[in-house]
Amino acid sequence: MGDVKKVVLAYSGGLDTSVILKWLQVTYGCEVVTFTADLGQGEELEPARAKAELLGVREENIFIDDLREEFVRDFVAPMMRANALYEGQYLLGTSIARPLIARRQIEIARAVGADAVAHGATGKGNDQVRFELGYYALEPSIRIIAPWREWDLTSREALIDFAEKHQIPIPRDKRGEAPFSTDANLLHTSSEGKVLEDPWEEVPPYVYSRTDNPEDAPDAPEYITIDFARGDPVAVNGEALGPAALLARLNELGRRHGIGRLDLVENRFVGMKSRGMYETPGGTIWHAAHRGIESITLDRGAAHLKDELMPRYAELVYNGFWFSPERDMLQALVDQSQAHVTGTVRLKLYKGSVAVVGRKSPHSLYSLRHVTFEDDAGAYDQQDARGFIRLNALRLRLLAERARRTGG
């Protein structure tokens, strides 16, 4: 396997990717470049640098990039404009991070002259698809190494044995069998596997890390406002914030009130069902607020068309087709729809729930003159409804007459 000279590895510094780093060196005899992305996962990332150096990676081949602002601005925000929910529930926190990681990996590969990229996703999950579709879309001739599909380290014991053989430090808490696996970024934390594999069993309390127990949340509701400009949130409670800081603020509010927990059995792209627990506190508030401001600024036809297309958009993101032409086409439609989605939403946060309780906009299509039950001063002639109903009923009447004639 000596045909690979230099590979860029998506590297967390954990047991799996540290084993992968050494395995690449041993199996391919190649130079390894590590890339660690700060997406707001809340972990100290500098230990990844020290560990990579310990495993023989040269200092100039270690990349640790703060991508939080780019992540929220260029990936989370466009997806939120679409109100994307996979299978009607999942806010796509893991899915939306993968194209950014893939893009930065390819950029680094070009910069250092690497001829391959590698990732630590397993052969059973969606992430292998998301990473690799991203790689190929950006660099069609790139060589991809997916160790979990190549090696014979098929158990945690085998990984630990390999680590010990090659003097890879193993934290004490990583030696035992992990009760579940997690993935985190500024948008969400996901947990799956082990104690979560039986979909009948309730998620144990210790699995939750991003949200307080709703039952223990404050007994008094908290009211907040979010300002939107052209479909994107720009301020919380009147304070202007950049994309990453705004999502972080919403995360704080959501955590305190236990908002954003989701226990989901989903359909993976690779064909199997899996059960995961997602915590998306700030994203849940953002999604509710965005639907709230759209309710008074989007025309009915535009709003309903968006709702029809949303499942397709969400499926593209979930399946790894962020860089596809069809996602670009849908994004153009979504972004055009947001031209007048500007205004303020007031929300009530209380014990795991978020409710829109007020909305206003300089571009509002809500007309009190037309909707009021009081005197509308001639804004709406109720007699017009008779012809409207009769025209819409025409085909139903014809169907009913035929049924009478034919007896069925």
- Give the chain's length: 408
Is 405 annotated in the active site? no
* CA distance linking residue 282 with residue 81, whole number of Å: 15
Q: What is the DSSP letter of 90?
A: B
- Asked if 235 and 251 touch (Cβ cutoff 8 Å), the reply is no
Cβ-in-10-Å burial (0-12, 13-18, 19+) of 113 comes to exposed
What 3-state DSSP class applies to 74?
Answer: helix
Active-site residue, from 12, 16, 81, 103? 16
Active-site residue, from 49, 98, 104, 359? 98
* CA distance linking residue 320 with residue 99, whole number of Å: 7
Active-site residue, from 127, 183, 212, 232? 127
Cα–Cα nearest to 102, from 138, 140, 145: 138
* CA distance linking residue 175 with residue 178, whole number of Å: 8
Q: What is the DSSP letter of 202?
A: P
Q: How far is CA 266 from CA 203, 277, 280, 371, in A?
A: 16, 11, 16, 41
Mark 271-280 as b/e (b = at least 16 C-beta within 10 Å). Answer: eeebbbbbbb
Is 16 annotated in the active site? yes
* CA distance linking residue 356 with residue 292, whole number of Å: 6
Token code pair at residue 230? 């052209």
CA max distance for the chain:
86
Active-site residue, from 181, 295, 353, 364? 181
* CA distance linking residue 187 with residue 287, whole number of Å: 12
DSSP string computed for 46-58: HHHHHHHHHTT--
* CA distance linking residue 33 with residue 7, whole number of Å: 6
Residues identified as active-site = 16, 98, 127, 181
